[in-house]
Structure 1
Amino acid sequence: MSDKSRIKYEPADGVGVITIDSPPVNALGPGMRESIIEALARGNADPSVQAFVLIGAGRNFIAGADIRQFGKTRSINSSVSAAALDASAKPVVAAISGYALGGGLEHALACHYRIAAPGAKVGLPEVTLGLVPGGGGTQRLTRLIGPRAAMDIILSGRHVGADEALRLGILDQVTDQPDLRAAAIHYARSIAAVRPVPRARDKQNWAVQDGEPAVFESMRASIARKARHLPAPSRAIECVEAAVRQSFEDGLKVEQQAFADLENTPEAKALRYAFFAEREAAKIPGIESGLAAAPVESAAVVGAGTMGSGIAIAFADAAIPVKVLESSPEALERGRLRIRDTYAARVKRGSLTQDSMDQRMARIQFVPGYEDIADCDAVIEAVFERMDVKHQVFGKLDAVMKPGALLLTNSSALDIDQIASATGRPGDVAGTHFFAPANVMKLCEVVRGERTAVATLQRAMKMGRAMGKVCAIAGSCDGFIANRSRAPMMTEMMLMLEEGATPRQIDKVMTDFGYPMGPFAVNDISGLDVSYEGRKRRALANPEYRKLHVPDRLVEMGRKGQKTGAGWYRYEKGDRTPHPDDVVAQVVAAVAKEFGIEQRTFSDEEILHRVLFASINEACKILEDGKAYRASDIDVMWLNGFGFPRHRGGLMYWADTIGASGVHRQISDWARRYGKRWIPSRLLADVAASKGNLRELQGAQGAGA
């Protein structure tokens, strides 16, 4: 089927029905906009047609433009087909089910009326791709609902539910009729005679004071820190301001110029790459994408600590009933209070209603025994990171869980096969490594053991996506993909401290690069003791392991981060602001003196390259070992697990902006200076020699196994 033929036109009861039929999400591809214009012309020339309905086949209206076409030459853009809808002499009703996003909402806004099914969602997410709407979205939406509400939707890129969209004035009606097409045709016939046809471009449905300069100045101030590396948010505000102060035609010119300026910026290209990388990460090579996996309809979590409580909240937020198991009534009660307080904080902030909190708490059942979770579809173990403890838990799970239940571990580093050996069903065992806090962070690293069944991986991935997570598969090895690739970065940070850098300088370099927080400040939040046990385990297993004396000594002093009032930084009571602490400087100086390490100053570039190049080299080794399917999966993990700046695309994508040869040359130099930990990966050397792209690398045969 050609893209042009994906638009169908059919008269029905005096209404011309224009159907977008471009599965799976009805994205607008080449030729489709022209076909919409042709259908409108045909119906406007037909005396028997009194009105139109624009509707999507299947579950969605139009989920946006085909992102693959961004950055390429197009015959026409959405502003042209939107203008044709707007200019139709006969009224056009947009019938919205599922998603109407980006160009989809722009086409709906250009229609004269909009009705929707109760589950519909609308939005203009272009800013999340480094762009602004380019089909009149900023102009029509602002005129419909005012600049404040329009900027909230455009700058957040969020999906707006049908009820809110009706309240704001984006929709004219939400219908509870099961047949949206029939309801839309009936509605179109009811308004067919209305003249003049109402056009969003002619409206001004907001108070005059809402357009005063203060609203735009306030919004610019509120996004200044978040948008300091991204031009799109500021350009979006400029477009909304033009909708308030200029004619529709002049405002549309401002919007189209902004879109053109942004479309091929480095930030927009990187954000598009990240978008597609996340979708590619959901695919398991060699497995048919349409192969159905049974959903997880009930779950259990063993452990009600910080991680277990966060995972339970993520299940409840996804409307999946979950049971929480703990070893003692006291620990179970602490977990219940932790979950309750987390929800209460959201209610206090206004991000959750009390009714919603009550509904979610009702989905969480706190139970004392393993037999209480036996009938759950999946269980996630979230206990202390020690193999003997994991073995005890999985032995009990093996004894009680129903056949076919997923037996999952939240381990961040331990061998999946060793954990599975405690059971008689290793095919049902996999890792689901969530990142703290599990109810907030987007990444779920699904870990495949040698005997993990493909069906287990599929179900675990499906479960993660149902929980709103971005999922990617890793092979079982120490640290899996995410933590294994990040460990060299953390090592170099610690060694640079010994050599003369400071936590504050390194944190500033990384926030200037685009991280929301510096790694030392983040470490204080997660706790310095979290990685302490892992370092002890690695030191016992490897006589050549380079101990990290500074963080070890801080932990042994009781400085574990914010929870103890001091870690890399000092914290005042009731205040989470990090303050540099002379105690840390004294520990660093003592370590340097003890081991004869010369202190020196570091440039910001050396700090940035040393920490990230170390991880790039390790990522290449992970691909060599066949523990990742794709380099882009590593990027997905860094973006969603570690807060790597999204506008930089990901670790491997960013490396390509420097060039594999440049990275290899610097790493080779550091290998001569610092020794074997910097020996370049063979794969990195090969890509450097071929002048290829690191982001396009595939894992070795059998990746992930």
Structure 2
Amino acid sequence: MAEANSTSDAVSYGYEGEVALICIDNPPVNATGIAVREGLVAAVKAINEEAKAKAIAIYCAGRTFIAGADIREFGKPPKMPSLTEVLNDLEASAIPTVSIIHGTALGGGYETALATHARVGMKGAKFGLPEVLLGIIPGAGGTQRLPRVSSVGFALDIAVSGRHAPVEEGFEKGAIDRIVEPGDPREIAIAMGQEVIAGTLPTRRTDQIEAKADPEAISNTLAMVQKKNPHLINLAECVKAIEAATLPLAEGLAKEREHFMTCMNSPQRSGLIHAFFGERAVSNIPEAKGDTRPLDKIGVIGGGTMGSGITTSCLLAGIPVRLIEVQQEGLDRGVATITKNLDGAVSRGKMSQDKRDAALAMLEPSLAMEDLADVDLVIEAVFEKMEIKKDIFGKLDTICKPGAILASNTSYLDVNQIAEMTNRPQDVLGLHFFSPAHVMRLLEIVQGAKTAPDALATGFALAKKLKKVGVLAQVCDGFIGNRILGHYGKTNAYLVLDGASPQQVDTALEAFGFAMGPNKVGDLAGLDIGYMTRQRKKEEGMDPNERYAGDVADKICENGWYGRKTGKGYYMYETGAPVPNPEVEKIIDDVRAEKGITPKDFSDQDIVDRYMTAMIAEATRVVEDGTAKRPVDVDMVFLFGYGFPRFRGGPLHYADTIGAKELVARMEEYAKEDPHYWQVPELLRKMAADGTTFADMNS
């Protein structure tokens, strides 16, 4: 190629014979930042003016084609030219253009490819329009050009799901024009440019293609998103934008812009953007970036639900595991569960049979704790009893090699007390997985008083290997998530005692955006878990000023009704779909009569307001006392561990949409009924006074 001409810091062009080559080089993922946009416009203009080429081939340096927008520009005033303007100029090129896709072409990257006159994908590459995952829709022509080169049905599939599709599928659907073997993007660009010139790779402009209307696909998809995701207005806006693809392109692009701006101005877009950045922010802390210890072999103690899930997660990540149980029956059951988990991954297309076999081969079951002598990290996942855990850690102290990390998967218990059973408290931390551990993405990494920095950093390294969202937490009863849950869960109980039915509470909170209401969740997790926690706290001594919240739930459990696993709890499960347990209604009536409670009416909004205000109150205290490092850490715990609606961004992001003054006013009003429970956190009072937000604290 002749000497390259740079049109910006990220774009250059040159010639190979009659093929003009435009190279985008904007590490790490060639995002469509301002330097790319300016450079691409200038390069296309220059090549057309120089009139030396008969084809333009666009390719990217590095490991991928354009993988999306530049996240550094999110939330900032837009810089011109916009991507829409750039792509309109690109499509208007008098010289035919072809894009060469390797790695991924996502969002604005695939929209760039759609604006070229032909698209070539290397085998194994993927493409997609994932903007809906951020609460918006494709905004640079994706909803208009994809239906034209492919179909309305395929555009709905790709844009509404936000999924990454293989280029091979795109070729079948017309979204990709040619599949080639992987190779040097520049060399492939030259070859494809020559084919464009020769006419063996046809080119076409989308403004000259009519999209075929598909009212049935539009109607079915709109009905589906409104049924499954009624809160996500951007999905419906995306469908409406694709419907406009049957208009002339300029009109369709104008419609797309209208629908895009509707999404941009919605609260859910703010929540989803917060979730996107928050997922990355939780590990962007000094504690996660220090030196780490090896993670070549892991030991797991306990083959029950949690231990089997943790083991499965490690095997899926390619880490050998030595699984320890005390009896052969328990060990066999654990191995069977792990095998079933891996088989499930195969049946869902998440892994091949060969990889499943290789993963299972990395599992070493054992009945001897002494077999943990050579592992780098031990994760204890046994029954939630302090005496049992202390005994295990005392034994591990004598068995494990120097430098091995000893971790407890405790949900509530004091990690410092557990560490005191060893002569190496610097090697002890909490790794609180969430069930099912091979599915749930949250991992609370609990820092003990003496946990060494490299042990803590290794916890974050493990989270990354397991593709989990690791969040730093300090020691307290329940850490971040369960501590907050333990507080706001009482609101559910109080509402039921005071007049709401369990079903009304569940329905109101599901309408708010939770996949399941708290009473359904309790049935799913097992009501005996909460029962044991309440009994433990009774033994430890309860605050005499606190209103007890377990009267109804305790009586349900005392009947042996623990939820789904016993076929009965707040709901009955014998017939499949859950139906309210009529015997629970009698329990509630009896408890109200016993306590002299006259039931009152609550609207669904009353239920949501009280439930969320209680959650926010304790979440504020968790930040206030340093159990969580920042508000965003609380938000990510609830998004990835507790089913909090992602589009609301997390409890403290949601709190900012309400405002500190309103929250304080609510708590003061509720405190007229129960001043002990509805205490206003001092941090929230301060925020109400000075007008600050939780978002201000995240920086």
TM-score (norm 2): 0.90
What is the CA-CA distance between 1:635 and the residue it aligns to?
Answer: 1.1
Q: How does 1:435-474 map to 2 (within 5 A)?
A: 435-474=434-473
Amino acid at match of 1:240: I
Indicate the residue corresponding to 1:670 in structure 2: 670
Q: 1:170 to 1:451 in 2, by over 3 A?
A: farther
Indicate the residue corresponding to 1:277 in structure 2: 278
Indicate the residue corresponding to 2:68 in structure 1: 64
Indicate the residue corresponding to 2:14 in structure 1: 11
What is the CA-CA distance between 1:297 and the residue it aligns to?
Answer: 4.6
Amino acid at match of 1:109: L
Contact 2:31 2:68 (C-alpha < 8 Å) held by counterparts: yes
CA distance in 2: counterparts of 1:180 and 1:532, whole angstroms: 61
Indicate the residue corresponding to 1:605 in structure 2: 605
Deviations 1:334-381 (A, max 9, x none): 123223334545655667665665555445443433344544443322
**For 2:407, what is the secondary structure of its paired residue?**
strand
Deviations 1:155-195 (A, max 9, x none): 22122345544555544556555544444444434444438
Indicate the residue corresponding to 2:31 in structure 1: 27
CA distance in 2: counterparts of 1:375 and 1:84, whole angstroms: 62
CA distance in 1: counterparts of 2:186 and 2:511, whole angstroms: 51
CA distance in 1: counterparts of 2:571 and 2:331, whole angstroms: 32
What is the CA-CA distance between 1:652 and the residue it aligns to?
Answer: 1.0
**For 2:629, what is the secondary structure of its paired residue?**
coil
**For 1:543, what is the secondary structure of its paired residue?**
coil
What is the CA-CA distance between 1:651 and the residue it aligns to?
Answer: 0.6
Amino acid at match of 1:66: D
Amino acid at match of 1:35: G
CA distance in 1: counterparts of 2:294 and 2:241, whole angstroms: 43
Which stretch of structure 1 is more off in the superposition, 528-537 or 43-52? Answer: 43-52
What is the CA-CA distance between 1:631 and the residue it aligns to?
Answer: 0.7
1:653 aligns with 2:653: yes
Contact 1:515 1:643 (C-alpha < 8 Å) held by counterparts: yes
Amino acid at match of 1:238: K
Contact 1:524 1:562 (C-alpha < 8 Å) held by counterparts: yes
CA distance in 2: counterparts of 1:70 and 1:458, whole angstroms: 30
What is the CA-CA distance between 1:689 and the residue it aligns to?
Answer: 1.0
What is the CA-CA distance between 1:325 and the residue it aligns to?
Answer: 2.8
Q: 1:157 to 1:196 in 2, by over 3 A?
A: closer
Contact 1:100 1:122 (C-alpha < 8 Å) held by counterparts: yes
Contact 2:192 2:201 (C-alpha < 8 Å) held by counterparts: no
**For 2:227, what is the secondary structure of its paired residue?**
coil
CA distance in 2: counterparts of 1:92 and 1:589, whole angstroms: 74
Q: 1:175 to 1:400 in 2, by over 3 A?
A: farther
Which stretch of structure 1 is more off in the superposition, 194-203 or 536-545? Answer: 194-203
Of the three residues 35, 40, 44, the one matched with 1:40 is 44
Q: 1:410 to 1:151 in 2, by over 3 A?
A: farther
Amino acid at match of 1:677: Y
CA distance in 2: counterparts of 1:199 and 1:404, whole angstroms: 63
CA distance in 2: counterparts of 1:495 and 1:644, whole angstroms: 21
What is the CA-CA distance between 1:477 and the residue it aligns to?
Answer: 1.0
- Which residues of structure 2 form unaligned runs of 5+? 1-5
- Give aligned pairs, total: 689
Q: 1:530 to 1:20 in 2, by over 3 A?
A: farther
- Which residues of structure 1 form unaligned runs of 5+? 700-705
1:581 aligns with 2:581: yes
**For 2:228, what is the secondary structure of its paired residue?**
coil
Indicate the residue corresponding to 1:238 in structure 2: 240
Amino acid at match of 1:127: V
CA distance in 2: counterparts of 1:176 and 1:420, whole angstroms: 55
Q: 1:198 to 1:688 in 2, by over 3 A?
A: same
1:265 aligns with 2:266: yes
Amino acid at match of 1:633: D
Q: How does 1:356-367 map to 2 (within 5 A)?
A: 357-358=356-357, 360-367=359-366
CA distance in 2: counterparts of 1:467 and 1:358, whole angstroms: 19
CA distance in 2: counterparts of 1:176 and 1:65, whole angstroms: 27
Indicate the residue corresponding to 2:512 in structure 1: 513
Contact 1:623 1:698 (C-alpha < 8 Å) held by counterparts: no
What is the CA-CA distance between 1:47 and the residue it aligns to?
Answer: 5.1
Indicate the residue corresponding to 1:703 in structure 2: none
**For 2:571, what is the secondary structure of its paired residue?**
coil
**For 1:304, what is the secondary structure of its paired residue?**
coil
Indicate the residue corresponding to 2:329 in structure 1: 330
Indicate the residue corresponding to 2:3 in structure 1: none
Amino acid at match of 1:11: G
**For 2:11, what is the secondary structure of its paired residue?**
strand
Deviations 1:631-673 (A, max 9, x none): 1111111111111112222111211222101111221233343
Amino acid at match of 1:44: N
CA distance in 1: counterparts of 2:118 and 2:292, whole angstroms: 39
Contact 2:405 2:427 (C-alpha < 8 Å) held by counterparts: yes
Indicate the residue corresponding to 1:477 in structure 2: 476
Indicate the residue corresponding to 1:635 in structure 2: 635
Give me the identity figure in percent. 39
Deviations 1:198-256 (A, max 9, x none): 136279899x7xx543222222232222221121111212222333x333333323222
Q: How does 1:303-702 map to 2 (within 5 A)?
A: 303-345=302-344, 357-358=356-357, 360-544=359-543, 546-547=547-548, 548-573=550-575, 575=576, 577-697=577-697
Contact 1:110 1:199 (C-alpha < 8 Å) held by counterparts: no
Contact 2:104 2:125 (C-alpha < 8 Å) held by counterparts: yes
TM-score (norm 1): 0.90
